[in-house]
Amino acid sequence: MFAIFLIISKTVISVCFVLGSIALVHEFGHYITAKLTGIWVIEFAIGFGNRLLKLKFGETIYSIRPFPLGGFVRLAGMDPPEEPEPEAKNGEPPNGGTQEGLSQQGQQVEPGGQGDRSEPSSEPPKEASVPPQEEDDLPTVAPDDPRGFPTKSRWVKALVLSAGSLMNLVWAVVLFVMIYALSGGPLTNIAVLDAPKDQPAYQAGVRAGDLIIAIDGAFIEDWNDGVKTIQRAGGNSIVLDVARDHPTAKSGFGGGLLLEDYSVDRGNFQIHNRETIKIKVVPSGSPGNGRIGISLAPNNFDFRVLSFGKAVSKGFDAAMGIISQTFNGLLKILTRETQADVAGPIKIMQMIKEQATKGLFELLYLTAILSINIGLINLMPVPVLDGGRIVFVLLESIFAFINFLTGLSLVITPKWEERVHFVGFLLLLVMLVLVTYQDIRNLL
């Protein structure tokens, strides 16, 4: 029973870390760029649900909420003001409301001012019939407040909206650097997984299982560097230093295993005699697109902790590689070259559980991949996503240009924009339900 409790606790903590860290760095991107560009950040929240803890520093409220799977940033002017209700007779607020309720909508009413033509009453004001909400402590923001999001220039709006996704990409780089600097990474050699017979590598003598350790006498410090060297050599001959193992089976009954030996089963083991041979090969293609026709991977036999500088370089390269793969995958989905393989919440949690059982750095690797995927998907021009909001900023620029040329006054009101985003939210919610249903079916 205790073991089951530990497994469940580890899974819950892992899910909260992976999804929570991705969402938090995303919101921090919005937060820090808003602060730097002079936008009033009303609230920065960690988690969802009702507030458990609230602290206020300066003009910003910092809150902690019970569900630690993300957070949000509340920027001044981002939420459109509610449409004012029609005034009742004698200037009384409608539905038994108070003048304070009207001021929350940006309609500031001064006692005795215009529109308040009734005689002052000696009775104390009536209490509001609606119970107070936690949002009641949020300040009122005038539509023309210079610190409000709507009053900022369009490039500032686009920067703030895109900053969340950019921080997701930065977070992935940080995670990769941590992995390579603390756990390690493949530093040397190219492992040949397969060498088809009709390709230049096989015809020159390369075989599956070989390790390419040097090219033209230059030792490969990074397998990606080796790949780039082969690509640059398209059409020109190169000399590969190839390490090839020749395993020799031995009986295990005569004694134990020796250093550098590999166990096969209880009764046998293998001795690997390694030789290094030089193979001359001409990559096909033009310079910059050379290929020798092998399936390759990092040589994990040389997996070791990297220096910080090398870890930063490899972390950046790893992030850029996954960004490129994700971007190309999204393009293929949009152009219908391939079908979308969408992972729902259940499948993602299952992936997190599996990686958590393997180790911390495997979990960090998954977090980096998910952070990149979520960051890029959030930039897609879909309503309710940041990319959809950026589209409205671009439309605002286009309308401003048309208005300048024609003298028209084309505008998109905040209410209409929010309605479009609401429809997008409903569509995403439907898609989430369908994907979750498919995940459940796959588990059964």
Higher pLDDT, 1 or 112: 1
Q: Any idea of the CA torsion for 413, 418, 419, 423, to the nearest 10 degrees?
A: 150
Q: Using an 8 Å Cβ cutoff, are 26 and 374 in contact?
A: yes
Counting Cβ atoms within 10 Å, is residue 407 exposed (0-12), middle (13-18) or buried (19+)? exposed
pLDDT tier at 302, thresholds 50, 70, 90: low
Q: For the residues 57-64, what does the mean pLDDT come to?
A: 88
Counting Cβ atoms within 10 Å, is residue 141 exposed (0-12), middle (13-18) or buried (19+)? buried
pLDDT tier at 140, thresholds 50, 70, 90: confident
Q: Residue 377 — left, alpha, or beta (φ > 0 → left; ψ -120 to 50 → alpha)? A: alpha
> Tell me, what's the pLDDT at 9?
79
> Tell me, what's the pLDDT at 159?
94
Determine what percent of the chain is predicted with pLDDT higher than 90. Answer: 21
Closest CA to 436 of 329, 348, 366, 333: 348
Using alpha carbons, list the distances in angstroms from residue 199 to 151, 195, 211, 225, 302: 61, 7, 17, 21, 27
Task: List beta partners, residue 248.
Answer: 271
> Tell me, what's the pLDDT at 160?
94
Which of 123-127, 403-407, 433-437 tops mean pLDDT? 403-407
Task: List beta partners, residue 186.
Answer: 303
Using alpha carbons, list the distances in angstroms from residue 362 to 176, 191, 351, 438: 11, 21, 11, 26
> Tell me, what's the pLDDT at 414?
79
> Tell me, what's the pLDDT at 205?
94
> Tell me, what's the pLDDT at 329?
76
Task: Considering only CA atoms, give the Rg of the chain.
Answer: 31
250 pLDDT exceeds 70?
A: no
Hey, where are the domains in the chain? 186-304, 311-443
Q: What is the distance in angstroms between the CA of the first residue and the CA of the last residue of the chain?
A: 25
pTM recorded for the entire structure: 0.63
What sign for the dihedral angle of Cα 148, 150, 154, 158?
A: positive
Counting Cβ atoms within 10 Å, is residue 104 exposed (0-12), middle (13-18) or buried (19+)? middle
188 contacts: CB under 8 Å, gap ≥ 6: 213, 219, 220, 221, 222, 223, 299, 302
Q: What is the tens place of the pLDDT at every residue in 335-375?
A: 776 666 666 666 677 777 777 777 788 888 888 988 998 89
> Tell me, what's the pLDDT at 174?
93
Q: Using an 8 Å Cβ cutoff, are 49 and 82 in contact?
A: no
Residue labelled with tokens 């780089």: 173
pLDDT tier at 328, thresholds 50, 70, 90: confident
83-89 contacts, C-beta under 8 A, 24 or more apart: 83/415, 87/115
127 pLDDT exceeds 60?
A: no
Q: Cα(146)–Cα(39) distance, rounded to whole angstroms? A: 8
232 pLDDT exceeds 60?
A: yes
Q: Which of 23-32, 177-186, 316-325 has the lowest mean pLDDT?
A: 177-186
Q: Using an 8 Å Cβ cutoff, are 106 and 142 in contact?
A: yes
Q: Which CATH class is domain 186-304?
A: mainly beta
Q: For the residues 57-68, what does the mean pLDDT come to?
A: 85
Exposure string over 219-242, b if 16+ CB within 10 A, otherwise e: ebebbbebbebbbebbeeebebbb
Q: Is 436 helix (H, G, I), strand (E, B) or coil?
A: helix
Which of 71-85, 222-236, 417-431 tops mean pLDDT? 222-236
30 pLDDT exceeds 90?
A: yes
Q: For the residues 412-430, what does the mean pLDDT come to?
A: 84
pLDDT tier at 130, thresholds 50, 70, 90: very low
Residue type, 151: T
* Mean pLDDT score of the chain: 77
> Tell me, what's the pLDDT at 173?
93
Q: What is the tens place of the pLDDT at every residue in 148-168?
A: 888 899 999 999 999 999 999
Using alpha carbons, list the distances in angstroms from residue 313 to 177, 316, 363: 8, 5, 21
> Tell me, what's the pLDDT at 262?
52
Question: Where do the DSSP E strands lie in 83-235?
Answer: 185-186, 190-194, 211-215, 218-219
> Tell me, what's the pLDDT at 104?
37
Which of 29-33, 188-192, 274-278 tops mean pLDDT? 29-33
Residue type, 435: V
Q: Which of 99-103, 198-202, 294-298 has the lowest mean pLDDT?
A: 99-103
**Three-state SS letters, 209-277:** CCEEEEECCEECCCHHHHHHHHHHCCCCCEEEEEEEEEEEEEEHHHCCCCCCEEECCCCEEEEEEEEEE
Q: Cα(73)–Cα(70) distance, rounded to whole angstroms? A: 11
